[in-house]
Structure 1
């Protein structure tokens, strides 16, 4: 089974906690703070590997968590960083955020890497909080949590030429003749339910990769038939061989087939409708083929090159493949990934640092990314750390905002899972 889609969960390692420690050495009765910082959490990194062909491995394992950083140690020793988790994916894998379907990476070169979940920063030990006013700080920070998200992985095959057309028009037979690929061939629709790749060798040192893309039907751009599952593979190709049943043996008009397939390509991605095509008039060995070929040439002969062939006998396939090879030398290769220099960085003005709302249960709820981050880094079992947390809230203006919104003595203030009494 060919797997070209997977949904996985990734989580960077949490940062290690900083610790509270003091120097305890002989002849130094009052040693200073010596708590080390926690280590950085490991990151989850996707790496393109030419040795992989499908996403089947992600059927059995879908959760990937990098190790956390070690906690800090006494004598100002920092905790070790967590090791990065390298996850191998096939070349041609497109990475999207599952929640928004936003594309964040296109891994199309051997060894190309992308960090999908960054590890959290380690917390600072108490040695980092020493200052002339507070020479013996008793506070340290917890490590920050690593990034976590669900991702969608889509595999788009890397091929030079794509065979497109309705089911049962002879695409699989063609690729079996011109390459070493051995697809399943039978006289019924959707025989091919997986894309087949084959290497076409023209002469010494000249070859190209041909992909047999399973049959498209009317409505494929909206998911009908095998729909989106295979249309994505067309995007990678530089040249399309549009295979038509020129004999009309299935009871369809080849000219109408041509129009419908191109309409579906345009609906899915307008760029595909502009991709260069060679029309392959297949099944020339059957009755009615000659008459339909004349109609096809009259209607499309000025727009496209038309090659009459018989996939069963192999007649006409050799000149077709050589012409495809010639055109590939003329068609420029389209970059399959965004160069780092081409990325545009847009600075977005941040929103308010926190929000205060009155809940139905009578509590004032304080929330926001900065508040959550501050709470995560605070060790609430440490009295000094709690005092520092409350001081930072006051400095951010939380206390003032609560007062302005009508909070009174004794009201409950909730921050994540923590509750405090408001004191005016």
Structure 2
């Protein structure tokens, strides 16, 4: 996914359609000079609907669509003919999209399932025709109900990437390299921090034609929850990952401390992230011998499954896949 094509935030002004007016028509034909009321109902105004589209991975198709308007319902007519409903305005979004009210910040809905479809704004109701108002004391009502008014709302759409496993680590921890090795994804890789500026997704093939989705989240740094580095812009993507794979390079001075810093950043952003299952991979381990690995294991964080890997040499990659699959299932 090209960086320029990844959009995870858009703000859209939406407006539903007005309902059509009911008709106040009185029946007239060759035989009947003064017939009773036969005005039909107005059609419903179009809704503004948010619909899941599993084929989409980004909100880029909405980047320049600042306004979404549904159509008005048509007016009723004679012979009790009901006006056509207004055409709905459909906003298709990828799975993991959150819709918020731009004025209040209230979460309207979250799109997480393939068949999700939510009405953001209801269209105006259609007005009733005059035949509804006929009674024993009012045989020929010459009035009808007007259609319901349009509704307006400014909506913020935020994408939280959906993945089975999310990679969490400081810049240059080897996350992008791992993703490029275990999947067909081609993230940008370099030896300097913040190479990855957007989340990257890759499908990792496993035994017996099984697979799972891995997400490379842009690097976190200490105090990211306060806006440092890339700030909290990408922390929300971690919320949608079923399991978190923390990655710390083998040449880090204090692996346990770096892991705790990462964990604290997630806690400061959203304490509920600590409820997710966690794994730890010590990357760039191709130059470590068994004796050094045994020594390092004595100082690793407790209560978290840990594995030493190297994306360059392939060391531990198969075992890592086994560990991830076992955790996911």
Choose 1 or 2 for highest CA Rg.
1
The answer to whether residue 55 in structure 2 is matched with residue 51 in structure 1 is yes
Verify: 1:131 aligned to 2:135, yes or no: yes
Post-superposition shift, 1:313? 2.5
Aligned to 1:147: 151
Give the alignment partner of residue 64 of structure 1, picking from 68, 72, 79: 68
Counterpart for residue 243 of structure 1: 247
Deviation per residue, 1:214-239 (Å, 9 max, x gap): 10112222333223321122112222
2:265 match:
264
- The CA deviation at 1:161 is 0.8
Distance 1:10 1:305, change over 3 A: same
8 Å contact 1:281–1:293 — kept in the other structure?
no
| Cα drift, residue 147 of structure 1 | 2.7
CA distance in 2, matches of 1:297, 1:194: 35
Q: Residue 99 in 1 paired to residue 103 in 2?
A: yes
Cα–Cα, structure 1 residues 245 and 290, in superposed 2: closer, same or farther, change >3 Å?
farther
Q: Does residue 323 of the first structure (1) align with residue 317 of the second (2)? A: no
Q: Deviations over 1:97-120 (max 9, x none)?
A: 222222222212223211111111
Find the aligned partners of 1:268 and 1:134 in 2 and give their Cα distance: 65
Q: Give 1:52 deviation, angstroms.
A: 0.9
1:114 aligns with 2:118: yes
Report the counterpart of residue 208 of structure 2 in structure 1: 204
Task: Name the CA distance, whole Å, in 1 between partners of 2:184 and 2:135.
Answer: 73
Runs of 4+ that moved beyond 4 A = 285-293
**TM-score when normalising by structure 1:** 0.72
- SS of the aligned residue for 1:322 comes to helix
The match for 1:416 is: none
Q: Is the 8 A contact 2:286 2:315 kept in 1?
A: no
Q: Please give the alpha-carbon distance, in whole angstroms, between the structure 2 residues aligned to 1:206 and 1:75.
A: 61
Q: How far apart are the structure 1 equivalents of 2:29 and 2:180?
A: 79
Alpha-carbon distance in 2 for matches of 1:286, 1:146: 67
Distance 1:294 1:271, change over 3 A: farther
Structure 2 unmatched ranges of 5 or more: none
Distance 1:206 1:33 in 2: 66
Conserved 8 A contact 2:16-2:47 = yes
Output the CA distance in 2 between the equivalents of 1:147 and 1:294: 66
2:308 pairs with 1:305: no
Q: Distance in 1 between matches of 2:238 and 2:316?
A: 24
Change (3 A) 1:294 1:277: farther
Contact preservation (8 Å) 1:246, 1:292: no
In the superposition, relative to structure 1, how do residues 143 and 293 fare at CA in structure 2: closer, same or farther (>3 Å)?
farther
1:255–1:296 Cα contact (<8 Å) kept:
no
- How far the C-alpha of 1:157 sits from its partner, in A, is 1.6
Instruction: Please state if 1:18 is matched with 2:22.
Output: yes
**C-alpha displacement at 1:165, in angstroms?**
0.5
For these two proteins, the number of residue pairs brought into alignment is 325
Secondary structure at 1:204 match in 2: helix
Q: Specify whether residues 231 and 292 from structure 1 end up closer, same or farther in structure 2 by C-alpha distance, changes over 3 A only.
A: farther
**Which position in structure 1 is the counterpart of 2:283?**
282
Q: Judging changes above 3 Å, is the alpha-carbon distance between structure 1 residues 290 and 120 closer, same or farther for their aligned structure 2 residues?
A: farther
Distance 1:309 1:228, change over 3 A: same
Q: Is the 8 A contact 1:247 1:287 kept in 2?
A: no
